Copies of this chain bind each other. A is one copy, B any other.
Amino acid sequence: MTAKDILHKHNLIRTSCRQSIIDTLTDAGVAISEEEIKQIIGDTYDRTTLYRTFKTLVESGIIHKIVVDNQLVKYALSTSKTDSENHVHFYCNNCGLVECLPGAGLIIPELPDGYTQTNTELIIKGNCKNCNR
């Protein structure tokens, strides 16, 4: 599905900034940060515009935000695979790669009495294939 189709499906105006971000995330395949986006598409857009565009795309569900650390935030396209309430991501300690993983196989410990759960965020830290070579 093209960026245009995705935006239209979510009733969002098709702007060049939104298209660039969606295209970049599609091409990348992995999660990327605002900084990395800028390195790829250039200094085309204002800081505020990028900030608001990410916000809009997250709120519409087109992309999702992965907070590895308070100083490291990345974004990835949402797919059927990542749509569930259980988000699983891999972070490479060596190269900083962030990837979405299917939530299948994840078993959450039981909560104390009276607690209820809406969703979970799991980050698995380690070394990726490339860095293990």
Contacts and interface: CB of A to CB of B under 8 A. Distances in A.
A112 B129 contact: yes
Interface of A: 67, 69-71, 73, 88, 90, 93, 101-129, 132-133
Nearest to A121: B123
A50 to B, nearest CB: 15
State the copy count for this chain: 2
Given A121-B125, A124-B117, A125-B117, A101 B106 contact: no
B120 A123 contact: yes
Contact of A122 (B113, B118, B122, B132): B122
Given A107-B107, A121-B123, A114 B88 contact: no
A105 B107 contact: yes
Contact of A108 (B116, B117, B122): B122
A133 B132 CA distance: 49
